[in-house]
Structure 1
Amino acid sequence: MMTLLMITAEKRLENGPPSVLRNLRASGRIPAVVYGLNAESLSVHVDDKELTRVARTGRSEMFKLKVEGMKDLSVIIKDFQKKSGKWNHVDFLQISESVPLRIAISIDYQGIAAGSKFGGVVQTLVTELEVEGLPAELPSIIEIDISHLEIGDKLVATDVKLPKGITLVPTTEELLLALVAAPRVALEGEEVEVEPEAINK
């Protein structure tokens, strides 16, 4: 059984004055809201350092949110806002560990395409891939090796090897992720002409 990270959260007033939120952030606490599972939203605040530690693992990875007086909540980071590089606000999504979750996960393209060594231009068209699986099995990132791509090759979503238990959302199966285009001149059939005057100079 995998070991889950945990964040301790404290409840806060949902509609407090702006000065309260400023004071929270100044003291290293980040305002947050918990949504999901047909429950009323819950306003909390969490420790900046704990949040950073969890966020490094990826937005799709499940962790536990410990709130005083409540059963531990299974959550993921649904959304967040930063200001000047610092946490400003976070939305947590409460999920069920036994119910598959549909979510977009960031793609990490790895390697240097073989075709680029012969002038091919690598184009990565998609930065996220929508998949479905149990929360505990979702990866933090999807690594895709493009080193085998030659000029003219294309990579679609169904070419990607996903972790066990993770499947593509049907609407994304034929999604074009990356390609290696021929050099522009060769692709367009352009020819470079040299003016006679240039030869005589």
Structure 2
Amino acid sequence: MAKNHEIKVVQRELQGKGASRRLRGAGQIPAIIYGGDVEPSVIQLNHNEIWLAQQNEWFYSSILDLNLDGKVTKVLLRDMQRHPFKQLILHLDFLRVNENEALTANVPLHFINEDTSPAGKAADVVVTHELKEVSITCLPKDLPESIDVDLADLKAGDVIYLSDIKLPKGVEIPALAQGKDHDDAIVTAKLGKEEAADEAPAAE
């Protein structure tokens, strides 16, 4: 079950490039909340708190509770602008979440039991994670922070596809509704010599 992640925010009084620069100089991040049936809301957040939070997977894939003077708005992070070389977040975009409407989100895949699988224990097998995350649809209450992919039975020559994932209740992968061509491989287990043979044409 997903945890609650509450972040305190403050209403932003001034807008524009100059105001945003002053906010950043004061250790704040300018941001906007949009979506739903209400007007966009401009806010600011503490940079140090967000810098620590954004180092966790949940910041990108979980519903966040933005607390403005005791009023909580449920949102998903939709965009983060970073400085090209400084450890600095420049701007954040959040999308309001309606608890009664299905949403689309990218969630990370966690590969478990790989080391103890037949493929993982074989010295001549190369296990490749083709995808690190997957796009899902579900109601906000069903949104998982991540999805586990159990590799306990993975053997040399195996390929695990999107359709092989055991999804939590209420969660769907919309790509699978588009046909077999969209059932992408997420894990492959190849013998080392096969891996080398696959790469040889590219090298030439």
Measured against the shorter chain, the TM-score band is 0.7 to 0.9
Distance 1:127 1:21, change over 3 A: same
1:97 Cα offset (Å): 1.1
Alignment match of 1:183 (pick from 154, 169, 192)? 192
TM-score, L = length of structure 2: 0.76
Structure 1 pair 52/97, CA: closer, same or farther in 2 (3 Å)?
farther
Deviations 1:95-117 (A, max 9, x none): 10121111111222232352241
Q: CA deviation at 1:52?
A: 4.4
Worse-matched range after superposition: 166-175 or 121-130: 166-175
RMSD: 2.8
Q: Secondary structure at the match of 1:46?
A: strand
Query: Is the helix fraction higher in 1 or 2?
Result: 2
Indicate yes or no: 2:171 matched with 1:166. yes
Farther off after superposition, 100-109 or 44-53: 44-53
Counterpart amino acid of residue 24 in structure 2: R
Match of residue 198 from structure 1: none
The answer as to 2:109 corresponding to 1:107 is yes
What is aligned with 1:66? 67
Counterpart-to-counterpart distance in 2, 1:179 and 1:74:
37
Secondary structure of 1:177 counterpart: strand
Say if 1:59 and 1:185 are closer, same or farther in 2 by CA, change over 3 A: closer
One-letter identity of the residue aligned with 1:181: K
**Cα separation, partners in 2 of 1:154 and 1:2, compared to 1, 3 Å:** closer
Alpha-carbon offset, residue 118 of structure 1 = 4.2
**Number of aligned residue pairs:** 186
Q: How many Å separate the matches in 1 of 2:135 and 2:148?
A: 14
State whether residues 62 and 136 of structure 1, in contact with CA within 8 Å, keep that contact through their aligned partners in structure 2: no
CA contact (8 A) 1:154 1:176 kept: yes
Query: How far is 1:62 from its partner?
Result: 1.2
Q: 2:156 aligns with which of 143, 151, 160?
A: 151
TM-score, scaled relative to structure 1: 0.77
Q: Which moved more, 1:179-188 or 1:143-152?
A: 179-188
Matches within 5 A, 1:39-78: 39-52=38-51, 54-55=53-54, 56=56, 57-67=58-68, 71-78=71-78
Distance 1:14 1:174, change over 3 A: farther
**Unaligned 5+ residue runs, structure 1?**
189-201
Tell me the distance in 1 between the aligned counterparts of 2:165 and 2:194: 31
1:108-148 deviation digits (Å, cap 9, x = unpaired)? 22323522414112122112211111113211222223242
Larger Rg: 1
Instruction: Judge conservation of contact 1:105–1:131 (CA < 8 Å) in 2.
Output: yes
Distance 1:147 1:132, change over 3 A: same
